[in-house]
Amino acid sequence: MKLFAPVYEKTLKWAEHPRATWFLGGMSFAESSFFPIPVDVMLAPMALQQRKRWAYLAAIAALFSVLGGVLGYVIGYGFWGWAESWVSELGWMPTYVKAVSWLDQYGFWMVLMAGFTPLPYKVMTIAAGTLNMALLPFVLGSLVGRGARFFVVAGVVAWLGPKVEPKIHQYIEWLGWACVILVVVLYFLLKH
């Protein structure tokens, strides 16, 4: 049963859509505060299909991701009473508690790291708001972390794309399941 190949083919088609850049911006915004699917899922195929525009696409993803991060910050700052039950229902509470602890200890550097790594950036944005972290360091950390991540992803895909695209097609199921396993392992590491 092929699960990831049809999804991969569909995202390649979406990447060619005339409004794909708008979709990328919207997804980047939503992913930073509440949407569970990483932006890389759309950014990578778009950079593969539009290799000459990879830097533009990375910049769109970074900018809208930071704006979405500010929304997450506002949720934490002004609406934590409402968001707390939502975070708990999604099973993010243990991660949120760790995020608060890490942010309290490392501040800007933690925001930067969460922006770049698979750490749940959306939880970090909400935690930064509840801690009333200074907005300027939060935005700068977000911009550097998210910008670095998206420029690396789009740049590597655009550079290696023609060489690795046939291999991606060949091994997409293995790559998909490897990503699922990585997410599960990270979840358990962060939870415990």
The Cβ of residue 1 has, within 10 Å, a number of other Cβ atoms equal to 3
Q: Quote the pLDDT of residue 57.
A: 96
The Cα–Cα gap between 165 and 171 comes to 10
Cα 50 to its chain centre, rounded Å, is 20
- The predicted model scores a pTM of 0.80
**Whole-number Å distance between alpha carbons of 176 and 157:** 16
Residues recorded for the chain: 192
Would you list the domain boundaries of the chain? 54-160
- For 180, the enclosing helix (H) or strand (E) is helix 135-191
Residue 192, classified by CB atoms within 10 Å of its CB into exposed (0-12), middle (13-18) or buried (19+), is exposed
Collapsed DSSP state (helix, strand, coil) of residue 37: coil
Q: What is the block-wise mean pLDDT of the chain (192 residues), using blocks of 10 residues?
A: 71 79 90 79 84 94 96 92 83 84 90 83 89 95 94 91 74 73 71 61
pLDDT of residue 1: 60
- pLDDT score recorded for residue 40: 82
